[in-house]
Amino acid sequence: MDYRSLGRTGVQVSALCLGCMNFGGKTLEAESMDMIDHALDTGVNFLDTANVYSRGRSEEVVGKALKRNGQRDRIVLATKVHGRMDDDDILAAGNNRRHIIQQCEASLRRLQTDYIDLYQIHRPQSHTPIDETLRALDDLIRAGKVRYVGTSTFPAWEVMESLWVSKELGLNRFISEQPPYHLLDRSIERELIPLAQTYGLAILPWSPLARGFLSGKYQRGQDIPGDSRFASDIATNNTPFVERTHQHFSDLAYGVLETVEALAAEKGCTPSQVALAWCINQPGVTSPIIGPRTMAHLEDNLGALDVTITDEDRARLDAVAAPEQAIVPYYTGKMIDFKPPQHRW
């Protein structure tokens, strides 16, 4: 297993991070716990979850698994806060001090631990001043309940603003950002990656397989499988994922997939392993987050660590997945409220 520094902290994390979103939900508890054990046995020491994943069930399963195997102190445990935890409570969401501190305590209970290694703000929220968010996180660090703090799906300008505010106010700063990044959306290469390299931020890409599209399970001209996440989004009219689903199944996207499949055939591996290996070895990337649903998915994902991506391979992929073109863009106003309020901090 290759290990890399978590941003400027010096903490060493595995080149793949085990994402636990499915655990306790689509993946039953017993298999989830076995998958965590298997990942740790292969050298993975980085787990990522969130309070909103199955409304706390993912955290509970992760906590039980770490209690069972006794390896809590040997892993870097990350979770997130921001999303709504109660549909009937207007206070049960957001980046404000009240919600952050309340949910940190709840996550600690579910995870059965005294501290969280990396506590991340799951999404930006323009109507909450960033200094309020940072002060709450700083207090949690000073109380010993959190070691480091990071962001998820923040645009580069908001990450930069947070670094400036932390410096101005003498607060602990974000050390990582968790953005969507894969061959169908390389938009973070424009600003976020250079920012991260300049200021020592870890980049922890989520959805490195483009929600499974780059695994090769979808073929041009065929119907979308009924048990897939894409079919579920369409059936439930899950806006804005429906629009992005159609972008996934465009001619441009299939062109990328077919090149990935050709490289996989040449290397004797799976398409998902090629796509993951590409992401792992991109400049500025620390640890892509895999989101396996089954043990077979996990074993396949781990196999990407043995796949070599050459300069020639990168050139072939660049030809169909141009860095300047986001085939499946994520950073849009439909997903995130970018409009800054007056008197932001």
Q: What is the DSSP letter of 56?
A: G
Query: Is 115 a residue of the active site?
Result: no
Distance CA 234, CA 28 (A): 24
**SS3 assignment, position 305:** helix
Catalytic residue among 3, 53, 119, 331: 53
Supply the DSSP string of 105-171, one letter for each residue.
HHHHHHHT-S-EEEEEE-S--TTS-HHHHHHHHHHHHHTTSEEEEEEES--HHHHHHHHHHHHHHT-
Distance CA 229, CA 210 (A): 11
Distance CA 338, CA 176 (A): 20
Distance CA 18, CA 139 (A): 28
Q: Which residues have a catalytic role annotated?
A: 53
